[in-house]
Structure 1
């Protein structure tokens, strides 16, 4: 299973989701990227701190979405509906495997909270939201994908 998480800058939400899923399913291949990411940045300090609090290792360098990443992924999970729209507009071949993460897992049309520029508590809220979504994502998959 190859999972690609997408957010805006690839420094907050998608790196946290990537680290969480890698921790929970180390046998899976997991990456993240951003629609408007600057290549080569670390995950934000607050994202790294909340992952540390949960004993989740992170080794992350930001990257922007690319044709190679789109082709690599079995499934692409975006943090917002606008990310999904931009990704599918830029890479129409991704349409059949691109989903808004929260909608895919819960049916809820809301976006994953963006903690960028917020407090450590905001990052903890996003971390908790992502952890619940990842647990539900894992549970929703057929056993043969485990």
Structure 2
């Protein structure tokens, strides 16, 4: 039986870079089953805006004034019709350790049939942020294909 997800949440460490970039990229794609698409962080101490380098990369790729405020992943975010995709395997493990009944948690790469993490960009130059955007764009295309194929089953 195929689960029909109603929401997809991207999760990274503090919800100010990789996860919101993935969220914004996916929101521009066509899904046969519209989903609520959000991002959250594992450790959000205050409502921080989008990382300036991530914002610059998104702007240079045609996202007008990308805005985002970081939010903590909460138990209320998790249920049976929510797909959670993390940037790193350690975040997936931490969700399983921290939250109850989190049945649909995968890394982004794992869910699209690849292996490895999308590494943290903290302290990296703008060029690395741009490379991450390119990687996320390719992964989001694969994700759309998988989600749309599941919808057809």
Q: Structure 2-normalised TM-score?
A: 0.85
How many residues get paired?
Answer: 144
Runs of 4+ with >6 A deviation:
none
The residue number in structure 1 matching 2:3 is none
Distance of aligned partners of 1:75 and 1:17 in 2 relative to their CA distance in 1, 3 Å threshold: same
CA deviation profile, 1:97-133 (whole Å, cap 9, x unmatched)? 100111111231x101221211110100111111111
The residue number in structure 2 matching 1:13 is 18
The structure with the greater share of residues assigned to helix is 1
1:70 corresponds to 2:75:
no
For residues 127 and 48 of structure 1, the distance between their equivalents in structure 2, rounded to whole angstroms, comes to 11
Larger radius of gyration: 2
For residues 90 and 35 of structure 2, the distance between their equivalents in structure 1, rounded to whole angstroms, comes to 26
CA deviation profile, 1:38-74 (whole Å, cap 9, x unmatched)? 2311010000111111112423100111012223862
- On the 8 A contact 1:38/1:62 being kept in 2, the answer is no
The 3-state SS of whatever aligns with 2:110 is helix
Q: Structure 1-normalised TM-score?
A: 0.89
For residues 80 and 39 of structure 2, the distance between their equivalents in structure 1, rounded to whole angstroms, comes to 12
- 5+ long unaligned stretches in structure 2: 1-5
The 3-state SS of whatever aligns with 1:71 is coil
For residues 71 and 120 of structure 2, the distance between their equivalents in structure 1, rounded to whole angstroms, comes to 18
CA deviation profile, 1:72-91 (whole Å, cap 9, x unmatched)? 86200000000000011111
